[in-house]
Chains A and B, each alone.
Chain A
Amino acid sequence: MAGQSRDAAIVGIHEFASRDVEGALSPLQIKAESAAYALTDAGLGWGDVDAVYDAGDGGGMSGLTISEYFGLKPNIIDTTNVGGSSYELHAAHAKQAIAAGKARVALLTYGSTAHSNARAIGVGGRGGGVHPADNMDSFVGMTLVANYAMAAHRHMHEYGTTSEQLAEISVATRMHAMRNPEAVKAMEDLEFLDIRETTITDVVNSRMIADPLHLLECCMISDGGGAVVIAAPEVAKDCRKKPVWILGCGEATKYPEIGGDITTSAAAQSAPVAFAEAGITPAELDIAMIYDSFSITVMTILEDVGFCAKGEGGAWVEGGRLRFDRPDDGPALNTDGGGLSSNHPGMRGIFLLIEATRQLRGESCAQVVDAKLAIAHGNGGMLGSRHCAGTVILGGD
């Protein structure tokens, strides 16, 4: 497209296969293995990397720690940590650094042993924090699931959204997961019961965790990790696979305010910036990789990104519209199986970039025919209180 900047591309990806390492690997080891595979995928080596991006999952002082662990001497060190949206911001910042001529090859990595650690991401209580916001909230027994459920309840109250409509997101995502052998293995390893495609009835009849969110509307807690390599055009042209161009990026924050609207996420701010830079509209997208911590996260973000108007997401997703085999109806959602049914070790944002890249290369297990444009939208923090958004628009070569 005329005016579209093609100054940085994803050239290497890897998703760490195991979702249960049984305590035998550390997050750093998962990051290093994933990095090596992603560099191999690109046809590059450690020595080519001159920019590192890290969300601190490998420990403190992460820019330094990860450089030494990998044996790199980067010129750009970026340790932006905004939870699950970190990797969308990393991709945005890598594009900026590469476009400015400050870097040629950027490496993003993620590793987590949340499952092995038996870390209760979703339903744990909260201790008294030292941040003032935490110190106001910690006496309340709000779980992470309840935080998102508060957004879902208000969405239902304002717009008449139903549990059946929210369940569409779980059903489409599980359908995609069942086509992905790594997702099926993940569900087996994490001892999911009755692993199969689901129906809307299955979802709304599953156990209530925090009203109105049911079990099958909540993501899994897995081990996992991955890596993404982003390169300048002159590097990308010699890589093993076709480049996937980063066409536009946006980032934003959202937090509780007097009279604030919990049904609108930071995506409403970040997405328009990304679309403007990419020079495209939501209707042109083939693939929607949307952070699915919970069904309501996706419903909210689909509206905020602009696939439909605020409050119309419930009707918009009805009838299996989000399935990969319905390309005429708009984008396919989370074609890898998502955080709901494939991979959620705590910060899923890197997998959004990875699966979007697979789709634009033609390598997905739920491949959309001739997919050309994708959105990867990460949501970090908590939808129902304070969170960060990162939007990345990707285009095939």
Chain B
Amino acid sequence: MVDVQRPLPKTHELDTKAFWAATKNEELTYQRCDDCEAVIFYPRRHCTKCLGNSLTWHTATGRGTIYTYSIVRQSYHPFFRDRVPYAVAWIDLDEGPRLLSEIVGVDDPASLEIGQRVKVAWESHEELSVPLFKPE
């Protein structure tokens, strides 16, 4: 039987490859514009606030807050269907970026709450790590 894996990001996608490269060292990164200091997320080559194109990578603490979440109880995906029920969430990092992830490390996902504090829980793969989150 084929071992079904989590679908992983492409490491060659040009806007996001630096983000994923940093995850290998378990660094959760985001960009800030050198000119107007706007936080840019998801990663891009240009600033969406001013017309600048000089962005600097920063490393987030990996701490944040659950903005909202859902518990997936039905999935047809060969990897995720065996994981149900599990919680997916939009997480507001303390540095600003809102990212989509999965909440792990809870016995009952229904016990999670909007506004709950979470921190990154890296899941390692060969070429990168994916930033899952767990209650702080």
Contact = CB atoms under 8 A, between A and B. Distances in A.
Bound together = yes
**What are the 7 tightest A-B residue pairs by CB atom distance, in nearest-first order?**
A125-B77, A141-B80, A149-B70, A132-B15, A154-B68, A211-B71, A146-B70
Interface stretch (A254-262, A304-312, A313-321, A345-353): A254-262
A120 B74 CA distance: 12
30 contacts: A123-B74, A123-B75, A123-B76, A124-B75, A125-B7, A125-B79, A132-B13, A132-B15, A132-B42, A133-B42, A136-B9, A136-B16, A136-B19, A137-B100, A138-B9, A141-B6, A141-B77, A141-B79, A142-B88, A143-B80, A145-B70, A147-B70, A150-B68, A150-B69, A150-B89, A151-B68, A153-B68, A153-B114, A157-B114, A210-B72
A375 to B, nearest CB: 27
A152 to B, nearest CB: 8
B58 interface: no
Contact of B9 (A128, A150, A213, A384): A128
Contacts of A130: 10, 13
A140 B13 contact: no
A390 B128 CA distance: 39
B75 A135 contact: no
A241 interface: no
A127 interface: yes
B68 A136 contact: no
B77 A258 contact: no
Nearest to B19: A136
Given A139-B130, A157-B114, A212-B70, 5 more contacts: A123-B75, A124-B77, A135-B15, A145-B72, A151-B68
Contact of A128 (B7, B42, B44, B71): B7
B118 to A, nearest CB: 14
Q: Is the interface of A mostly helix, strand, loop or mixed?
A: loop
Interface of B: 6-10, 13-16, 19-20, 39, 41-44, 67-80, 83, 86, 88-90, 92, 96-102, 110, 114, 130
B72 A139 contact: no
Interface in A319-338: none
Contact of A132 (B43, B71, B79, B80): B43
A283 interface: no
B62 to A, nearest CB: 16
Given A150-B88, A385-B100, A120 B76 contact: yes
Contact of A150 (B20, B90, B130): B90
B90 to A, nearest CB: 6
B52 to A, nearest CB: 17
Contacts of A385: 100
B71 A140 contact: no
Interface string A137-175: 111111101110111111001000000000000000000
Nearest to B125: A139
Nearest to B78: A125
Contacts of B101: 140
Nearest to A208: B73
A210 B74 CA distance: 7
Given A123-B75, A385-B100, A154 B16 contact: no
B106 to A, nearest CB: 14
A139 B88 contact: no
A152 B83 CA distance: 22
Contacts of B10: 128-130, 135
A132 B19 CA distance: 11
A126 interface: yes
A138 B16 CA distance: 12
Contacts of A157: 68, 114
A104 B11 CA distance: 50
B96 A143 contact: no
A258 B86 contact: no
Question: Which of A120, A149, A212 gathers the greatest number of chain B CB atoms within 10 Å?
Answer: A149
